[in-house]
Structure 1
Amino acid sequence: MKAAVIYASTTGNTETMARAINDVLKETGNEVVYGTATEADKALVTGCDVLLLGSPAMGAETLEDSMEDFYSAIEGSIKGRKVGLFGSYDWGDGQWLRDWEDRIKNAGATSAAEPLMVHLTPEDSDIEKCKEWAKSTVK
């Protein structure tokens, strides 16, 4: 399966999650397009079977700016695709991921898995959750 793991990170927490997701997908034989929202090739990403997108919660639980820009640019091209969402947060209750999941569904995509969120810095148990989550998205 061909998967895209695209993320934005401000403190490194979401990047740590993305690396764990990328690593396990590669280890399990998937072809992976991996990178940041500012550098990702939109056409290459939307050509993948599964899109795994990550962003930290910002401000009043919104997407990080570069991910908002990236996602807005591909939103019209994800109909029929499986999309999984992940990210880290410091406050709130995950509203930014629920809002984002609504957006992917409204764009005609299906959820590859329940959104995955980690509070602050991912611990070893969180990294294991990232790996299991990643495996579930490509079944």
Structure 2
Amino acid sequence: MQANIVFASLTGNNEEVAEIVQRQLDAQGVTTTLTEMSQADAEDLTDGDIAVIVPYTYGEGDLPEEGLDFFEDLLDTDLSGVVFGVAGSGDSWYGDDYCKAVTEFDQQLAQAGATRGAQPLFVDLRPDDDDEPRLAAFTQSLMTAIAKRA
């Protein structure tokens, strides 16, 4: 089983979220690839069983600038065989714009035909001890979705 984890991070928080998910998937025997979003190609997601996207939200709910092409390319990619989840760090101070990119990537992946394996997960600022079990549940949800497809 193969998982592609794509992240964008300004502060390092989302890279940390992506690395936690990677460790959790690795522990379940999944082969993982971790890629920074500016280096990612949407088509590469078709090479795996699981896609995890970890974007940051910038300014007033904006997507990561380095991820705009990747975001747009998702709609030109058939992801019907892929189970996905989107998680990301943000600052709850931003209110309605808090982790908005997480929600937008979640919707874009669904429109590209991928199967949602986990509900979008928001992490307030840097992931802490309270977030570990939430991320474990997120990862387990992805694994359960894959098992149901088998």
- Place the TM-score, normalised by the shorter chain, in its bin: 0.7 to 0.9
Q: For structure 1, which segment, 69-78 or 111-120, has the greater mean C-alpha deviation from structure 2 after superposition?
A: 69-78
| Residues matched between the structures, number | 139
Measured in 2, the distance between the counterparts of 1:13 and 1:32 equals 19
CA distance in 1, matches of 2:11, 2:59: 14
For residues 38 and 16 of structure 2, the distance between their equivalents in structure 1, rounded to whole angstroms, comes to: 17
For residues 78-119 of structure 1, what are the alpha-carbon distances to aligned partners after superposition, in whole Å with 9 as ceiling and x for unaligned? 431222111111123443322332222222222121001101
**CA shift for structure 1 position 43:** 4.1
Query: Contact (CA 8 Å) 2:7, 2:53: kept in 1 or not?
Result: yes
Residue 120 of structure 1 and its aligned partner are, at CA, apart by 0.8
Equivalent in the alignment of 1:113 = 118
The one-letter amino acid paired with 1:6 is V
Residue equivalent to 2:89 = 88
The one-letter amino acid paired with 1:110 is T
- Please say if residues 46 and 74 of structure 1, whose CA atoms lie closer than 8 Å, have aligned partners that are also in contact: no
Which runs of no fewer than 5 residues in structure 1 stay unpaired?
none
Q: Alpha carbons of 1:72 and 1:32: their partners in 2 closer, same or farther (altered >3 Å)?
A: same
Structure 2: 5+ residue runs without aligned partners? 145-150
4+ residue segments displaced more than 4 Å: none
For residue 4 of structure 1, what is the aligned residue in structure 2?
A: 4
Q: CA deviation at 1:135?
A: 2.3
Structure 1 residues 45-54 or 128-137, which shifts more? 128-137
- TM-score normalised by L of structure 2: 0.82
